[in-house]
Amino acid sequence: MINFVTFAPVFSYKYIVRNKFFYVDMRNIFLTIALAAICFGCDNLPVDLPDLFDELPLTEDEVGAGLKEALSIGCNVATKSASADGGFLNNPLIRILLPPEAQGLIDKVDGVESSIPPVLKLVATEFGLMEMLDFSDEMSELEVAMNRAAEVAAKTALDIFIGAVTEMTIFDAYGILNGSSDTAAMHYMRVHTTTPLKENFSPIVKDAIDKVEVVTQFWEPVINKYNDINTIIKNINSTPTAYLVKIPPLGDPINPDLNEYITNKAINGLMILVGEQEEKIRTNPLERTSELLKRVFGKK
């Protein structure tokens, strides 16, 4: 009697890939023999039939379909989590912080008080400068608004991400499956799909920014306040008291491209969540919710 368990793995992985037709024929032979054994009442097979098929090497179709299914699950979980209320804001891994330009603006304003010459302290107070140097409330509201915009945009991100997954080739799939990282699929998406994702996702983020009114309600007030501080400093420096010493002006504010910034941060956050789900599927058998996932990742 043929020992299926020892016979099935004879064909090496590389040999099977290069001789796909021969490999497919062998699977049919195994199936034929197994069915014949059932039909003729053979109850002394050395291995259970499910175990027999588990011993067969993975096909290209299985590898490709398994990786795409894992990534699709990851994309579903990521977009659902990120689009929930607080999905970005309350998750420290993906929370969107203030852009560097905004932080630079805060740093400039924070330095104003220490740059006021002692002789001008009283004049600065009379002009209301001191009470305008606190931007904490405005910046906090801006950060919340940016994260809300990312959450709104994430609601419609799934189709774009799934579209990127379908572009994966079989060679990509084998590289991902055998990658040394538990988030190899996420890294593949980051390298190969970020540019097209940005092109497709950017308009969605812009709509979300408009919907949340990030610019008009939260960023423009910051710029206006900054400009007001600059105007007050200019007025103080025009007084007779400032004849010999002056307060250094802040300079023109740098206006960040909030659409590009939030787009990049939102995509990065979604990638992180996809990677988390991929790692769960790779390392935890309970996360492999289909027979295909069990077969593909169970053989790793």
Predicted pLDDT of residue 23: 38
Share of the chain above pLDDT 70, in %: 80
Quote the longest CA-to-CA distance of the chain: 111
Copy the structure tokens of residue 31.
């199936």
Which uninterrupted H or E stretch holds 17?
A: helix 13-18
DSSP 84-97: STTTTTT-TTTPPP
pLDDT-based confidence at 285, cuts 50/70/90?
Answer: confident
Residue 294 to residues 39, 77, 170: CA-CA distances in angstroms?
29, 19, 19
Which position has the higher pLDDT, 115 or 192? 115
Cα separation, 76 vs 78, in Å, equals 5
- Residue 64: predicted pLDDT: 83
What's the mean pLDDT when you consider all of the chain? 81
Question: For 169-181, b where at least 16 C-beta lie within 10 A, e where not — what string?
Answer: eeeebbebbeeee
Query: Which contacts of 227-235 are long-range, i.e. CB under 8 A and separated by 24 or more positions?
Result: 227/253, 228/132, 229/109, 229/112, 229/129, 229/132, 229/133, 232/127, 232/128, 232/129, 232/132, 233/112, 233/129, 235/127
The model's pLDDT over 257-283, given as tens digits with 9 standing for 90+, comes to: 999 999 999 999 999 999 899 888 888
pLDDT tops 80 at residue 192: no
Q: How confident is residue 55, by pLDDT bands cut at 50, 70 and 90?
A: low
Q: What is the structure's pLDDT at 191?
A: 79
The predicted model scores a pTM of 0.75
Q: How confident is the model at residue 29 (pLDDT cuts 50, 70, 90)?
A: very low
Q: Which range has the worst mean pLDDT, 44-53, 223-232, 262-271?
A: 44-53
The answer to whether residue 181 scores a pLDDT higher than 80 is no
| pLDDT of res. 180 | 66
pLDDT tens digits, one per residue of 83-118: 999 999 999 999 999 999 898 899 999 999 999 999
Domain boundaries, the chain: 1-57, 59-298
Helix, strand and coil in the chain, % to nearest 5: 75, 0, 25
**90 or 200, which is more confident:** 90
Q: Where are the beta strands (DSSP E) in the chain?
A: none
pLDDT tier at 175 (50, 70, 90 boundaries)? confident
Residue 182: how many CA atoms within 13 Å on its side-chain side? 11
The pLDDT, as a whole number, for residue 24 is: 41
Q: What DSSP letter does each residue of 114-159 carry, written as one string?
A: HHS-GGGHHHHHHTT-GGG---HHHHHHHHHHHHHHHHHHHTT-HH
pLDDT value, residue 240: 92
